[in-house]
Amino acid sequence: MKIVRTVHEMHAFSKRMRNAAKIVSLVPTMGFLHEGHLSLMREAEKRSDVLVVSIFVNPIQFGPGEDYEAYPRNFDRDKEMVERAGGDCIYAPSVAEMYPEGYQTRVQVAQVTQNLCGLTRPTHFDGVTTVVAKLFNAVTPHVAVFGEKDFQQLRVIKQMVQDLNMDIDVVGMPIVREADGLAMSSRNRYLSPEERKAALSLSQSLFEAREMVLSGEKNTAVLENHVRGKIESTGMGRIDYVKVCDTLTLQDCSRIEDEAVMALAVYFGKARLIDNIVLRTG
């Protein structure tokens, strides 16, 4: 497996693969990999001849006071996991390589970034779209695979690809959960045993909301209040947001007519966890 550290090397590698008529896929990550990432790699491998996994903790998507410095990192462990998953190349540039002195460009998606995480993390998605655009330009993949755990991020990336006429097939993959329902996340390691137990209220309340919709409840205020109450009853969760939104525009919904996404972000201690579920009436 090849380890690539520079844009020049990455361009050269991808050019060789493309010239050999190979289909190249990319799974962008910030490292500290888990089974959720591996599920993306397996899907990407199915859809391509050459699997590239990027590992880069992107400083410009973290806001002031967030956990950029503390974000878990273990490159040797990640390398072993990518190799076992069948990866052909890890692209792991430095911050200086990605944002050299004099760097001054950002990529911004205007509307679908405004709600949900964009409300309390106003610079976050500019950082996400900028780094993903740079990864796409360096790797030049035919296919890129992302997880649906960050529903808004996936929607934002698809909008960017559409708007900028990028010739990339963006694939979303279902949330991978622990046996008890907690969505897998690199930030789960921040949780104390008590916080982790309380964090189960996220998936449990989402599953309950899904059953309520299937039983005929369409009022999103009722659904949101139910989920909020379940999380608050733990006495440990500090809610950032709980919202039901249109799956395409990500604007708030007052009623569910066909389908909508219920998304949430909640702090347990220093861990900010996100989760979501698509609610369908039938």
DSSP notation for 249-271? T--B-SB-SSEEEEEEEEEETTE
> 16: Cβ–Cβ under 8 A, 6 or more apart, which residues?
none
Contact 277, 259 (CB under 8 A): no
What is the token pair recorded at 156?
Answer: 């934002």
Helix ranges restricted to H, the chain = 7-19, 35-46, 75-84, 95-98, 117-120, 124-139, 151-163, 193-214, 220-232
Of 34, 37, 124, 226, which residue is the catalytic one? 37
Residue 37 among the catalytic residues: yes
CA atoms within 13 A on the CB side of 4: 23
Question: In the block, which residue shows the tokens 């694939």?
Answer: 171
What is the token pair recorded at 221?
Answer: 């205020």
Dihedral of the alpha carbons of 38, 43, 47, 50, in degrees to the nearest 10: 0
Q: Whole-angstrom distance between the N-terminal and C-terminal Cα of the chain? A: 46
Burial class (CB in 10 A: 0-12, 13-18, 19+), 220: buried
What is the token pair recorded at 176?
Answer: 């991978």
Enumerate the active-site residues.
37
